[in-house]
Amino acid sequence: MATRDAVRPIAREEILRQQAIAREIRERPDRPLTYHLVTYGCQMNAHDSQALAGMLEDMGMAPEADREKAGLILFNTCCIRDNAERRAMGNIVFTRKIKRVRPELLVGVCGCMAQQEGFQERLSRRYPHVDFSFGPGEIYQLPQRLLDAMEGRREQAFCRGEDSTLYEGLPVLRSLPFFAYQTVMYGCDNFCSYCVVPLVRGRERSRELRQIVSEAQRLVDEGVQEIMLLGQNVNSYGRDTGGPRFEDLLRALGQTGIRRLRFMTSHPKDLSDELIAEMARNPAVCPHLHLPAQSGSDRMLAAMNRKYTRDWYLERVRALRQAIPHIGLTSDLIVAFPGETEEDFEQTLSLARQVRFDSAFTFIYSPRSGTAAARLPGRIDPEVARERILRLIALQEGITREVLRGLVGQTASVLAEGLSKRDPGQLTGKTGRGIACNFSADPGRIGQIVPALITGQGSKTLKARQIEKENP
């Protein structure tokens, strides 16, 4: 595992070297002309894929929706959940059939799976149709890895590098011109017993505030309306450096002129009074917080090494709602953690009833190799786990419907993201609370924040119409 001493920024000279390699590839007639990029996992991976796409286009490649026609297939993987890992491996194996028909096809694997101990060696040995791989801390090395693969340097193409790096200045291909991700920190120091993130993304390392603010100002100048700040635990920003904290960063970003700021993911133990106060007074910060609870049982929280109690979590929720009465809360909840009793599970249900999340991501626990929880006794019977997750989902779906029903008749500001897929006559976007909304408005308002009256609801979405007066 990387130590704090291993954390280092990538030298500007190295970024320039990779850019030179990219230009070299662009001039080569044997380069792949098209790429098909497959992304699994969280918003961090989505943002990483935007950087990968930016570099691939700098190398003279165009996106190809049909993987069977692409010159390069690149998988940006996730290993946080077993399901994501199995889906990725199934698709990676499938590319072997494509390569039999088109041997010139190049196949690459990157992301969290590629950073697992021994994975790259197994990939190179067992799946010879894969040409190169690299971990999430080595994204900037894509040109070099691709060149190594093109020239048959297999050992270099699969070399496992460092995971504790900081890099700046990579090209990014955003999917929407008015929305942008910004990574503010990498890695995690929490070591929750079920989580593999510290093993694959390294220890916490915060970017410099000045660099983040400068980057955000450029985005605002380009017309970006909303920025999503990313990190495995954004509200621990600055703890590793002893410098400005996350509330200081929000304050500085609010002065750039950005209309909307969101962030995820936050850890309850680091949700300070100072951060809550800044969220309340900063008009750019959206009234929404994703605050993973994981369990409502103190016994399970201790076994998960979450470093807070049920009472602490509920007190933080009360503080948030007192400071920001209209805030929307979302969460992550795990069921069937090793040793979970029916009483433990009932406490998770009661937490969901008490907090009344706008929505929640619910998961059945899956053991991850190398984590402390993978060695715990008391595995839950799969049928019991399935019954519990269905009960939790049913409860949360009912709460979500009630929350949405309570918003009907209120006004909200909606960032119009595009035409609705279900009804091209309407626009779709998200409210400040982060709730998906379909609404009637002029298509010319796409990319703008539109005031809307909420007129109805679906099971997970709102219905609205454009009005003149905006309410935050």
Q: Which of 404, 423, 441 is the last residue of a domain?
A: 404
Quote the pLDDT of residue 358.
98
**Predicted pLDDT of residue 262:** 97
Q: Is residue 12 part of a domain?
A: yes
pLDDT at residue 25, as a whole number = 97
Q: What are phi and psi of 446, to 5 degrees?
A: -60, 130
> Domain check: are 396 and 274 in the same one?
yes
Last residue of a domain, one of 404, 420, 438: 404
CATH of the domain at 187: 3.80.30.20
Which residue pairs, CB below 8 angstroms and at least 24 apart, start in 96-101? Answer: 96/127, 96/129, 98/67, 98/68, 98/73, 99/129
In a domain, 396, yes or no: yes
Amino acid at the residue 234: V
Residue 169 belongs to some domain of the structure: no
Which domain covers residue 302, as residue numbers? 179-404
Same domain, 399 and 428: no
Q: What is the pLDDT of residue 5?
A: 41
Half-sphere exposure of 304 (CA within 13 A, CB side): 25
Give the per-residue pLDDT at 36.
Answer: 98
One domain, residues 395 and 431: no
Q: 78 — alpha (psi -120 to 50), left (phi > 0) or beta?
A: beta
Residues 131, 203 share a domain:
no
| CA dist list (Å): 85 to 80, 188, 329, 342, 448 | 8, 20, 28, 29, 37
Is the N-terminal amide bond of 265 cis, ω within 30° of 0? yes
Residues 259/297, Cβ–Cβ less than 8 Å: no
CATH number at residue 437: 2.40.50
Q: Is residue 168 part of a domain?
A: no
Same domain, 240 and 352: yes
Helix 246-254 / helix 273-281 crossing angle, nearest 10 deg: 10
Q: What integer pLDDT is reported at residue 8 of this predicted model? A: 60
Q: Give the CB-side neighbour count of residue 266, counting CA atoms within 13 A.
A: 25
Residue 113 domain-assigned (yes or no) = yes
All residues at 6 or more sequence positions from 24 whose CB lies less than 8 Å from its CB, including other chains? 147
Q: Which amino acid type is present at position 185?
A: M
Query: How many domains are contained in the chain?
Result: 3
The answer to whether residue 173 sits within a structural domain is no
Alpha-carbon span 168 to 207, nearest angstrom: 9
Does 101 lie in the same domain as 13? yes
Angle ∠(250,470,418) on CA atoms, nearest 5: 80
Looking at the fold, whether 155 and 202 belong to one and the same domain comes out as no
Shared domain for 315 and 426, answered yes or no, is no
For residues 343 and 217, membership in a common domain is answered with yes
Q: Which tokens is 39 given?
A: 């992304």
Residue 416: φ, ψ to 5°: -75, 115
- pLDDT recorded at residue 165: 62
Inter-residue contact 184 to 216 (CB < 8 Å): no
Residues 214 and 294 in one domain: yes
186 and 65: one domain?
no
Q: Give 10-residue mean pLDDT values along the chain (472 residues).
A: 49 87 96 96 90 96 96 92 85 94 95 84 88 90 96 89 66 92 92 91 90 96 97 93 96 98 95 98 98 98 98 98 97 98 98 98 93 95 98 98 97 95 91 95 93 95 86 45
Tell me, what's the pLDDT at 431? 97
Residues 431, 291, single domain; the answer is: no
Cα separation, 278 vs 263, whole angstroms: 13
